[in-house]
Structure formats: C-alpha cells, structure tokens
Amino acid sequence: MAEYERVSTSLEEIKKCPYCGEEHFARSLYGHVAFSADDDHGPRGSVPDGFRVSETETVGVKPISKRVRGRSDEVYRCKHCGGDFKGKAGLETHLGMLKGDSQHPESATADTAGIWVPQKVADPEPDTEDAAAAFQAHMGSLSDHGEKGAAEGVPVAVLEDLLDEYRQREQQGAGFVTAARMLDELLEEYRDGQIRLTPL
C-alpha cells in the first residue's frame, strides 16, 4: 500500500447568522443556530422553520488548509449513488462530473459524500487479557512523564488530524464547533512557543 500525505486547501464560505449577525463558516452555521442559548435562535437543539444555510448572507471566503493522509489504493463509496472509487481523488472526480444531478447535491465533497470501504474484513476473537495488559502498559507510560508534564507527550500530528475531524463535523453540533476552537487555540499556543508538544 502506498501511503501519502498532502495539504489540501479550499475556500470556505463565511456566512452571517440571520439571528445575531455573528459570522461563521458555512459548515458550522447550522450548529451555531441549533445550539445557541438564546431565544433569538429558537429552541435549543433545533433551528427555526425555514432556516437554510444556503439562503443566508455570504460575507466572504477564507482559505482553509488541512492535512490529508491516506493510501492511494483505498476504496471510497459514494453515499449518494453507491459507486466505488479508487482513493479520494477518484471520488472527487466522480463528484465533480455529477454534482447537481438528481442524486448528487451541489454541496457534495469527497469528505462529506465518501464512505471508506475496508479491503480486508477480519473478525478476530478479542483477547481480553492482551487488551487489558496493553491498556495498563499505555496508562503506565502516561504516568512516566513525571515532571515533564503530559503536554510534552502529545503528538502534534494527532492533534492536527483531530482538529480537521472536528472542523468537518461542525455542522453536527455546537460541541464540535467548541472543540475545534479550543483545539485550534491549543495549537496556536504551541506555534507561538507558549507550550511544548511532541512532533510526530
């Protein structure tokens, strides 16, 4: 399997909340409206009738970069039509040709429309003793940091991947918006030299 890593940059729309005027990425505006704690946005956990992110005012665009990792021989299934494609690039090509037809919405992207299809399916019997021993060893290694602090043992690449995941899921709820913001602030502190993290 050929593994790859690249930086993917895209332009993300910035939308203005029609209820409070705050600006958010288009993908996180729904979560902002649904989980805001005031009456202007409607009952918590739902959005007002007729609210559509696509119909809100776009106030600009911002370039967003994210690290993409994977294997060139992975298979992705389009959740709109069920077709299988080689790698995310194959799925992106498919979506680019069919966006806007009766099955594929204009907003479809490889990140939102793709389902990774495992090539080897295994159902091994779990060895609970080995799993418990591995967990105890892992927990023991965490306590070995001593006075260095746990922050020095956190790999940056893992946090960046987690931040990408939270950003992709911001429309699913305000918790992902908050987690992405907090993790982004932590990584900014690392980049500014205020804290030390372990590069992977």
Least confident piece of the model among 61-65, 88-92, 100-104, 141-145: 141-145
Q: Can you tell me the mean pLDDT for 167-188?
A: 80
**Which amino acid is residue 135, in one-letter code?**
F
HSE-CB of 74 using CA atoms within 13 angstroms: 18
Please state, in angstroms and rounded to a whole number, the distance separating the CA atoms of residues 69 and 39.
41
The mean per-residue pLDDT over the stretch 8-37 comes to 87
Identify the pLDDT of residue 196. Answer: 63
In sequence order, the β-bridge partners of residue 16 are 23
Position with higher pLDDT, 148 vs 167: 167
Nearest to 110 by CA among 78, 73, 132, 135: 78
pLDDT value for 56: 93
pLDDT value for 20: 94
Q: Can you tell me which residue has the tokens 């993290």?
A: 197
Higher local confidence (pLDDT), 84 or 73: 84
Q: Are 85 and 94 in contact (CB under 8 A)?
A: yes
Q: Is 54 exposed, middle or buried (0-12, 13-18, 19+ CB in 10 A)?
A: exposed
pLDDT tens digits for range 51-78 = 888 899 999 998 877 666 655 567 888 8
Q: What is the mean pLDDT of residues 77-92?
A: 82
Q: What is the pLDDT of residue 144?
A: 47
Rg (CA), the chain: 21
- Per the structure block, which two tokens stand in for 189? 């502190």
Mean pLDDT computed over 2-9: 61
User: 49: exposed, middle or buried (C-beta count within 10 Å: 0-12, 13-18, 19+)?
Assistant: exposed
Q: What tens digit of pLDDT does each residue of 99-119 get?
A: 777 778 888 888 888 776 766
